[in-house]
Structure 1
């Protein structure tokens, strides 16, 4: 029935496995939970407890292979036809979480891919985590109805269901460096191959709120990654919003203005984004400016 596949790296995933397993047992499912550790240095003792649970396994890779490769490897170890991918740093908030996916499978036998969604904690985090929290709440924590307005681009890989045969036909691209655009590239490949992607309200909480400084570094890395994907024609410029806007500005001869503003205000932008009152508008201008310099 269901293979639950969880890649992890330096994270205690035992509580997540325990919760998911209990829900599977309550539904009387044929299931397995497979956790692959991408050569972590921490939490081995805690995570090794997973091997004491029936229908669950935890193993550690000898070397780090990256986010795309480890998901592909997990799929090869799956015994069942329905694959549920969960990130290690998510938290289940509904006792109907597994039931919701099972009911969907039963009523949609010809489904391709289903994304359940994400939410972030309601309480305000520390000031040095506000940028990631605000971005997550405004840009990622969307209802299924909102996500359906932009079906493929709204997809994230931290909580999705996919048929094994479909996954085998697309898989994550292992030819690219360990960039931060796997979600977008995977959804682009789904769209390109005309694979159905549906959205439901079956959200998980994302626990891992980075500091604003770390998030900014990841932002810069992801923009470099996007530039690489575009240069190799893995993505079209109109698929990612930032490259689409960049293209439009370039065509209308307004890109020089963004470059000028970025050059003059870069330090001010960074100061705002690392402050207790970060602006997503400034964040977007910063990203455009940074992208234009690459």
Structure 2
């Protein structure tokens, strides 16, 4: 088996995603299997996605939520492919040759061990803070790059042998930075990486209020990482962390928080509006982080 398509599922209808993948597999004779692991979704989604049992190689329903890192590692128990393609459940396939693009790259460059295809934003949700942030800070718009900082877990292929050696860090049970730490681990071990233009469409309808809550959880994850000196090489280049360290080093945390408090209501109002500012979002995250570091 050449390719195992691994889709962690949580409270999302993945039927169209699976059918689109199967259409390419069947029409092009691609040697691939589809594996779904449901991370304790609500009953309605379990029933809906249960219809796919006969359409996929394996459909697993977990009784309790185990989180973004552990569930990805769990695919090692069920996959038989030489390469694993990980897709977030809330994506759509953008082109007819999505799988073939990855396989062609692997055939041309068999030394490549990690491929990242990037993502695009569903125009329906383009004005939300979450998706504005993706466009400005996360999406790879180039054609090819070996820059590990581009990596996100939304759409990537990894050699199974490499993934067995370097799985996700399961101590990271909360939202945020598991993809960053994973990429840094692989980079430090000189895994051969390529970012390429083979995007999926991310259908993320997270509203601004929920995204701010997730950002707070993410800053909590970053703070916990900072408590372990072994993580210093991983997180030293994260901009919000670098800014927080500068404030702490020069004793400016209290002053910064005092100034931020004056503008906090204005900043939060903007971030919850229809025209949120990414610069305000930067200050918001910094304030959350330094409050934890104080």
TM-score over 0.5 for the alignment? Answer: yes
Q: Distance in 1 between matches of 2:59 and 2:154?
A: 19
Q: How far apart are residue 257 of structure 1 and its match?
A: 4.3
Tell me the equivalent position of 1:63: 64
Q: Distance in 1 between matches of 2:211 and 2:72?
A: 23
Checking the alignment, whether the CA contact within 8 Å between 1:83 and 1:163 is kept in structure 2 is yes
CA offset digits 1:29-83 (Å, max 9, x no partner): 2211000001112322221121222x53322012221111111011221111111
Q: Distance in 2 between matches of 1:93 and 1:234?
A: 39
CA offset digits 1:196-252 (Å, max 9, x no partner): 221000011110220000000000010011000111235324232211222234445
Tell me the equivalent position of 1:43: 45
Q: Distance in 1 between matches of 2:112 and 2:94?
A: 24
Q: Distance in 2 between matches of 1:241 and 1:196?
A: 25
Structure 1: where are the runs of 5+ without partners?
none
Structure 2: where are the runs of 5+ without partners?
none
Q: How far apart are residue 178 of structure 1 and its match?
A: 2.6
Checking the alignment, whether the CA contact within 8 Å between 2:12 and 2:89 is kept in structure 1 is yes
Write out aligned runs for 1:65-214 (5 A): 65-123=66-124, 130-145=128-143, 148=145, 151-214=147-210
Checking the alignment, whether the CA contact within 8 Å between 2:172 and 2:178 is kept in structure 1 is no
User: Cα RMSD between the aligned structures?
Assistant: 1.9
Q: Distance in 2 between matches of 1:270 and 1:234?
A: 34
Q: Distance in 2 between matches of 1:218 and 1:124?
A: 17
Checking the alignment, whether the CA contact within 8 Å between 2:86 and 2:153 is kept in structure 1 is yes
Tell me the equivalent position of 1:15: 16
Q: Distance in 2 between matches of 1:96 and 1:257?
A: 54
Using the size of structure 1 for normalisation, the TM-score is 0.92
The DSSP-based 3-state class of the residue aligned with 1:153 is helix
Q: 1:234 to 1:186 in 2, by over 3 A?
A: farther
The DSSP-based 3-state class of the residue aligned with 1:199 is strand
Checking the alignment, whether the CA contact within 8 Å between 2:125 and 2:204 is kept in structure 1 is no
Checking the alignment, whether the CA contact within 8 Å between 1:118 and 1:205 is kept in structure 2 is yes
The DSSP-based 3-state class of the residue aligned with 1:59 is strand
Checking the alignment, whether the CA contact within 8 Å between 1:83 and 1:162 is kept in structure 2 is yes
The DSSP-based 3-state class of the residue aligned with 1:52 is coil
Q: Quick check: 1:217 aligned with 2:213?
A: yes
Checking the alignment, whether the CA contact within 8 Å between 1:262 and 1:290 is kept in structure 2 is no
Q: Distance in 2 between matches of 1:50 and 1:116?
A: 25
> Which deviates further from its counterpart, 243-252 or 27-36?
243-252
Q: Distance in 2 between matches of 1:193 and 1:233?
A: 19
Checking the alignment, whether the CA contact within 8 Å between 1:50 and 1:57 is kept in structure 2 is no
